[in-house]
Amino acid sequence: MSQRPSLVILAAGMASRYGGNKQTESFGPSGETIMEYSIFDAIKAGFGKVIFIIREEFADAFKASIEPKLQGKIELDYVYQSLDKFSGGREIPAERTKPFGTQHALLCCKDALDAPFAVINADDFYGFDAFQSAYEFLTTSASDGKYASLGYELRNTLSDNGSVTRGEISVNEAGNVTGIIERKEIFKQDGKAITKEGDEEKELPLDTKVSMNFFCFTPAFVNWSEGEYYKFLDKNLNTELKAEFLIPEVADICINSGNAELKMIPTKAKWFGVTFKEDAPVVKAELQKLVDEGTYPANLWA
């Protein structure tokens, strides 16, 4: 394996709530996408390669938007997520249109992974501190069966414009994750974070640690997950047309079946991202503020 870790960027989602292709939309003052800030931070931290997971039908437009900026700055690779990959001969229902989720996207990367890696969402801003911490873990502590999740404070990850999905992280005294519960609906209400459990509403402490799909793995985790994916398909393929195979849920299975330990790396970095169209002006203002403060140059690649 090469020594420098890779960064895997999940950019194949449908963005149904956002209503557009937010992965390639401009948010920075010189037309930068959100993921370009992640790539900038990853290069600064020491990552050696970026692997983009995209849908093949958008590959040409995606490459045309990103390659002129990044060529020569970091190694680039592309992986296409499609419903038929890793089907194991199972027939995909014609009514299924949505990709099978983030861990299936990682599984599509199986042949492109040759080093420890971090995985992130294309449409989330994570902050340099997170990439620096991830790089340190991947180069000093990661091994097969020893992984990590960046843990954000819930208060720093909420949207003013609607409910969000977050993985609630539980940890033991050693700082290892004991469970990740995928909370599908968390929203702000009177300065509090509220989640729904069935018909009941429950308040979550604002300092609750949550996963923002920023994980550190070795390729062994992806190889292991293939067997879990076939179990997922057998259970859901013909009964749940919107079921997804998600990284936090698979990581939870992995640690609770004794196959790995998952360290929680806390960060106080403020997340921001675009779940809803109304989030876009907020993200643009936040990025401009960081540029004004000197955290980022006005043009990332000039």
Express each pLDDT in 214-264 by its tens digit. 999 999 999 999 999 999 999 999 888 889 999 999 999 999 999 999 999
**What pLDDT score does 165 carry?**
87
Q: And the tokens for 114? A: 């040759």
**What pLDDT score does 199 carry?**
83
d(CA 76, CA 120): 16
Residue 18 has pLDDT above 50, yes or no: no
| Residue 1 belongs to some domain of the structure | no
**Mean pLDDT computed over 142-149:** 97
Q: With bands split at pLDDT 50, 70 and 90, how would you rate the model's confidence at 197?
A: confident
CA-CA-CA-CA torsion sign (100, 49, 266, 286): negative
Residue 20 has pLDDT above 60, yes or no: no
Structural domains in the chain (count): 1
**What pLDDT score does 1 carry?**
42
pTM to 2 decimal places: 0.92
Question: Alpha carbon 139 to chain centroid distance?
Answer: 20
**What pLDDT score does 147 carry?**
98
**What pLDDT score does 2 carry?**
47
**What pLDDT score does 22 carry?**
63
| Residue 161 belongs to some domain of the structure | yes
| Residue 298 belongs to some domain of the structure | no
Residue 16 has pLDDT above 50, yes or no: no
Residue 142 or residue 268, greater confidence: 142
Identify the domain containing residue 58 by its residue range.
6-292
Q: Which residues have a Cβ under 8 Å from the Cβ of 248 and sit 6 or more positions away?
A: 149, 167, 180, 182, 211, 213
Among residues of the chain, what percentage have pLDDT more than 70? Answer: 96
pLDDT digits (tens, 9 = 90+) for 166-177: 989 999 999 999
| Residue 118 belongs to some domain of the structure | yes
Q: With bands split at pLDDT 50, 70 and 90, how would you rate the model's confidence at 206?
A: very high
pLDDT digits (tens, 9 = 90+) for 271-297: 888 888 888 999 999 999 999 999 999
CATH number, position 101: 3.90.550.10
Buried b (16+ CB within 10 A) or exposed e, 97-133: eebbbbbbbbbbbeebbebbbbbbbbbbbbbbebbbb
Q: Which long-range contacts (CB under 8 A, 24 or more apart) does 15-23 make?
A: 15/123, 16/98, 17/162, 17/275, 17/276, 18/123, 18/274, 18/275, 18/276, 18/277, 19/277, 20/277, 21/58, 22/122, 22/123, 22/274, 23/54, 23/62, 23/122, 23/123
| Residue 299 belongs to some domain of the structure | no
| Residue 95 belongs to some domain of the structure | yes
| Residue 300 belongs to some domain of the structure | no
Residue 118 or residue 165, greater confidence: 118
Residue 161 or residue 140, greater confidence: 140
Q: With bands split at pLDDT 50, 70 and 90, how would you rate the model's confidence at 50?
A: very high
Q: And the tokens for 262? A: 């998952």
